[in-house]
Amino acid sequence: MNAPGAALLEVDGLNVGFKTSDGLVRAVTDVSFRIDPGEVLAVVGESGSGKSVTALALMKLHPRSAVISGTAMFDGVDLLALGDADMRAVRGNSIAMVFQDPMTALNPVFTVGFQISEAVLAHNDVTKKAAWARTVELLDLVGVPEPRQRASQYPHEFSGGMRQRAMIAMAISNDPKLLIADEPTTALDVTVQAQVMEVLREVRKETGAAMMLITHDLGLVAGAADRVQVMYASRLFEAGAIDDIFYDSRNPYTRALLGSIPQVDSERTERLLAIPGNPPSLLNPSPGCPFMPRCSERVERCTEELPTLLEIRGREHRSRCHLAQELAPISEVLP
């Protein structure tokens, strides 16, 4: 492992906007974060909060209409400044991605093994035979039973969970340093979700890869992440170690998210808490806090002034809220 302080990925002031006929839509606004070697950073937020766009921008897979600024230092190079050819050498090699829907992320007309071995061949000068052997080994690693046989099958012969395993096998085929998993379990049912998270944990143990886990499922985060960052309306709202977020959140939005997780032991008559209202438009944002209209803690100041990302108690815990220091302990607010 690197010396402390040497981040694997250091994103600074990332902005992503999309030009539309109505003006610039800001999908990611001034986002800065770091991922250390081997750690898991969970990025949490509602649909449209900018979490996926952040990941796509890092891989430079965003639509061409996007306008991007900022830096993303990965292993000493700025990803955002890389040319097409250089970026291709990074993709699938030192940074790999696992997609949300394994049903559509595999090409239906090729065998699963062919597609994985292609990922191996794309970045290594090896024979097809060697690539195939590696493919079988990878499928074995992600827990696909009978990997030799399964490698010659087509995606439609795989179940959803098996396909996601195959996608993970493809992602780790070149021993990436960073794995970006964009809602890797959203399209799967709950029992399979747990298996896939377990596979991700196993392969990270094997390869030592760091992971950026994008999800809207805080339950998933609890068991998997080292650090969490919460995004809302294109901005970072809170970031910190997992315990700081879950047990000492200093942000009303994070608290609202935590409050909306169903509890098994809650009274049956209790209604599931939802956050009222909708996220704001990302076109011409108002000057105040974007969460203000939905916030239960709002004060006068919130309508006029966007809170800054405040450092809390010197730990690596930051929150975007005027009241970050004054909020009541989380145990008094949530059951």
Q: Is residue 88 a contact point for another protein (CB under 8 A)? A: yes
Q: Taking a C-beta distance cutoff of 8 angstroms, is the pair 172, 138 a contact?
A: yes
Nearer to another protein, 203 or 256 (CB): 203
- Token pair in block for residue 260: 């909306």
CB of 107 to another protein, least distance (A): 4
In the complex, minimum distance from the CB of residue 155 to another protein, in angstroms, rounded to a whole number: 9
Residue 91 engages another protein in binding (rule: CB under 8 A): yes
CB within 8 Å of 67: residues ≥ 6 apart: 15, 16, 17, 18, 19, 24
CB 307, min distance to another protein, A: 35
Interface with another protein: number of residues (CB under 8 A): 42
Calculate the alpha carbon distances from 219 to 44, 55, 267 in Å: 11, 21, 19
Q: Which residues pair with 14 in a beta bridge?
A: 31
93, 176 Cβ separation under 8 angstroms: yes
170 is a contact residue toward another protein (CB under 8 A): yes
Piece of 22-30, 38-46, 96-104, 213-221 that binds another protein (CB under 8 A) = 96-104
Q: Is residue 196 within 8 Å of 188, Cβ to Cβ?
A: yes
- CB of 149 or CB of 303, closer to another protein: 149
Pick out residues in 48-77 that bind another protein (CB under 8 A). 59, 61
CA distance 178 to 168: 13
- Nearest approach in angstroms of CB 33 to another protein is 20
- Pick from 193, 173, 98: which is nearest to 130 by CA? 173
87-112 burial: b if 16+ Cβ within 10 Å, else e: beebbbbbbbbbbbbbeebbeeeebb
CA pair distance 209, 110, nearest whole angstrom: 28
Q: Which residue's CB is nearer to another protein, number 61 or number 77?
A: 61
Q: Nearest approach, Cβ of 204 to another protein (angstroms)?
A: 13
Cβ 92 to another protein, closest distance in Å?
3
User: In angstroms, rounded to a whole number, what is the distance separating the alpha carbons of residues 79 and 9?
Assistant: 10
Cα–Cα distance for residue pair 319/304, rounded to 1 Å: 18
**Dihedral (Cα; 334, 291, 221, 48), 10-degree rounding:** 150
Answer for which of 30, 39, 75, 140 binds another protein (CB under 8 A) is 140
The pattern of x and - marking residues 198 through 237 that bind another protein according to CB under 8 A reads xx--x-----------------------------------
Nearest residue to 232 (alpha-carbon basis) of 57, 74, 47: 47
Binding another protein (rule: CB under 8 A), the pick from 6, 89, 272, 299 is 89
Site string for another protein, 99-138 (x = CB under 8 A): xxx--xxxxxxxx------xx--xx---------------
Q: Which of residues 145-164 bind another protein (CB under 8 A)?
A: 145-149, 152-154, 156
Q: Tell me whether residue 156 or residue 268 sits nearer to another protein (CB atom).
A: 156
CA pair distance 270, 40, nearest whole angstrom: 34
Near another protein by CB under 8 A, which window of 12-20, 88-96, 126-134, 266-274?
88-96
Instruction: Pull the structure tokens for residue 279.
Output: 């996220």
Residues that bind another protein (CB under 8 A): 59, 61, 88-93, 96-97, 99-101, 104-111, 118-119, 122-123, 140, 143, 145-149, 152-154, 156, 167, 170, 195, 198-199, 202
